[in-house]
A = this chain, B = another copy of it.
Amino acid sequence: MSTTCKAISAESIVQTLRACFPAHERLALHEPFFGGSEDAYVSDCVTTGWVSSVGAYVDRFEQDLAAYTGAKHAIAVVNGTAALHISLKLAGVQPDDEVLCPALTFVATANAISYCGAIPHFIDSESNTLGVDAGKLSDYLKDIAVEDGESYRNKRTGRTLKAIVPVHTLGHPVDLDPIIEVCERYRLELVEDAAESLGSTYKGRHTGTFGIANAISFNGNKIITTGGGGAILTDNTPLATRAKHLVTTAKQPHPWKYEHDALGYNYRLPNINAALGCAQLEKLPQLLKWKRSIYSTYQTAFSETPQVRIVGEPDSSQSNYWLNALQIQGDRSFRDAIIESAHLQGIAVRPMWSLLNTMPMYLEAPAMDLDTSERLEQQIISLPSSAILGAP
């Protein structure tokens, strides 16, 4: 994106957005699409009485997810945050460890780290993928990481650097290969936050299948939804067994005894939500096509506007285009002018998340220089991306 081209007005950008989908008077940011077996499957749960955390749809949803993503195991849970919490525990994250994660992500990424008693350590992102900048991270770790037995310590805080949680931001796969190199160099566990990237692949392989344990979300605003829901993906069979155990209150299998052998969680996805998920997953290939078509519409609309970049999928990746986004030149006040103007015209755009290191509960958390994240936070605007907008 050139920085020399003529300024453009907020109104002009909003006019172009307004013209993208003339058949839709109001544009929500992201609404779910139910056009398949959702009602039939959900009714089936009610009719049979199998609505809760044991049921055929839970098993099927897990099998379907594993088959779709290529993960060996999928464990369905109540939401993406719970999936990430347990994934971090599976990766061995302990109280007082530090876990590297982007500052530019939804707050759940850092919260899940906090639930483990660990401390998020915020790292910078780069413009192309909107995800972790592995090159900058590598330089930073050269400076702050010191070897200490089996692992590396942050020499400034004395804490163990245990894991890294890259995020596939807005559905765009982060550049994983150099991140994996950093993991190997510093013995960091890799846990992917793939909450937003169901349907996205990196070098032909589904996101959420590279780390030791990884999280997907099926929240109401995601590409498919179970109402609320999430899943842990892992290729490690003992860890999958452990995950299922931890999310069902660590109850030991027995026909009638209630004995629990660890601090567990009530995180299992109810069958009625899994039923919704089974139906939604059947529609995913269609939804992905529609999402891609929405991207094309935005891309075409702004093709003559060099001051605006529509965020596209990185090389060697396929994005699910969960949330399309544009990048402006300028600062937060220009961004806010566009957002305010769009909202007045019924177009529900939004900025990215405020950087996590600026939130009260994370002000004391360690952070590297975050200049690219700061710029992206000011310049990226998420665009209406409900799948129906891309329907033929």
| Chain A residues with a Cβ under 8 A of chain B | 31-34, 38-39, 42-43, 45-47, 49, 51-54, 78-82, 106-108, 111, 114-115, 117, 219-221, 225-228, 249-251, 255-266, 268-273, 276, 339, 343, 348-354, 359-361
Chain B residue with Cβ nearest A48? B34
The docked-state distance in angstroms from the alpha carbon of A6 to that of B293 is: 80
B residues near A353, Cβ cutoff 8 Å = 258
B residues near A270, Cβ cutoff 8 Å = 220, 226-228, 273
The docked-state distance in angstroms from the alpha carbon of A221 to that of B258 is: 14
The answer to whether A339 and B256 have CB atoms under 8 Å apart is: yes
The answer to whether A361 and B258 have CB atoms under 8 Å apart is: no
CB pairs A–B below 8 angstroms (29 shown):
A34-B49, A39-B43, A51-B220, A51-B226, A52-B220, A53-B220, A78-B78, A78-B228, A80-B266, A107-B249, A107-B258, A111-B263, A114-B263, A220-B270, A226-B270, A227-B270, A227-B273, A228-B269, A228-B270, A256-B348, A257-B350, A258-B354, A259-B354, A260-B359, A261-B359, A262-B361, A263-B361, A272-B273, A273-B273
B residues near A38, Cβ cutoff 8 Å = 46
The docked-state distance in angstroms from the alpha carbon of A34 to that of B49 is: 7
Q: What 8 pairs between A and B have smallest CB-CB spacing? A: A52-B220, A227-B270, A81-B266, A258-B353, A256-B350, A228-B270, A227-B272, A51-B227
The answer to whether A51 and B276 have CB atoms under 8 Å apart is: yes
The answer to whether B343 and A266 have CB atoms under 8 Å apart is: no
The answer to whether B42 and A272 have CB atoms under 8 Å apart is: yes
B residues near A47, Cβ cutoff 8 Å = 34, 39
The docked-state distance in angstroms from the alpha carbon of A219 to that of B272 is: 12
The answer to whether B52 and A268 have CB atoms under 8 Å apart is: no
B residues near A80, Cβ cutoff 8 Å = 266
B residues near A343, Cβ cutoff 8 Å = 255-256
- How many copies are assembled? 2
Identify whether the interface residues of A are mostly helix, strand, loop, or mixed. Answer: loop
The answer to whether A225 and B51 have CB atoms under 8 Å apart is: yes
The answer to whether A260 and B107 have CB atoms under 8 Å apart is: yes
The docked-state distance in angstroms from the alpha carbon of A33 to that of B115 is: 36
B residues near A262, Cβ cutoff 8 Å = 360-361
The docked-state distance in angstroms from the alpha carbon of A353 to that of B49 is: 25
Closest CB-CB distance, A88 to chain B, in whole Å? 15
The answer to whether A266 and B82 have CB atoms under 8 Å apart is: yes
Chain B residue with Cβ nearest A114? B263
The docked-state distance in angstroms from the alpha carbon of A225 to that of B52 is: 8
B residues near A266, Cβ cutoff 8 Å = 79-82, 108, 111, 228
- B82, B261, B265, B271: the one contacting A360 at CB < 8 Å is B261
B residues near A361, Cβ cutoff 8 Å = 260-263
Chain B residue with Cβ nearest A29? B256
> 14 additional contacts, CB 8 Å, given A32-B51, A81-B265, A261-B361?
A32-B49, A32-B52, A39-B47, A53-B228, A78-B79, A106-B258, A228-B269, A228-B273, A258-B352, A260-B359, A260-B361, A261-B359, A270-B273, A272-B272
Closest CB-CB distance, A311 to chain B, in whole Å? 17
The answer to whether A249 and B111 have CB atoms under 8 Å apart is: yes
B residues near A260, Cβ cutoff 8 Å = 107, 359, 361
The docked-state distance in angstroms from the alpha carbon of A352 to that of B51 is: 24
The docked-state distance in angstroms from the alpha carbon of A155 to that of B247 is: 35
The docked-state distance in angstroms from the alpha carbon of A361 to that of B246 is: 13
Chain B residue with Cβ nearest A85? B266
**A46 with B42, Cβ < 8 A, contacts A270-B227, A351-B257, A359-B260 known:** yes
Chain B residue with Cβ nearest A382? B256
The docked-state distance in angstroms from the alpha carbon of A249 to that of B111 is: 9
The docked-state distance in angstroms from the alpha carbon of A52 to that of B34 is: 13
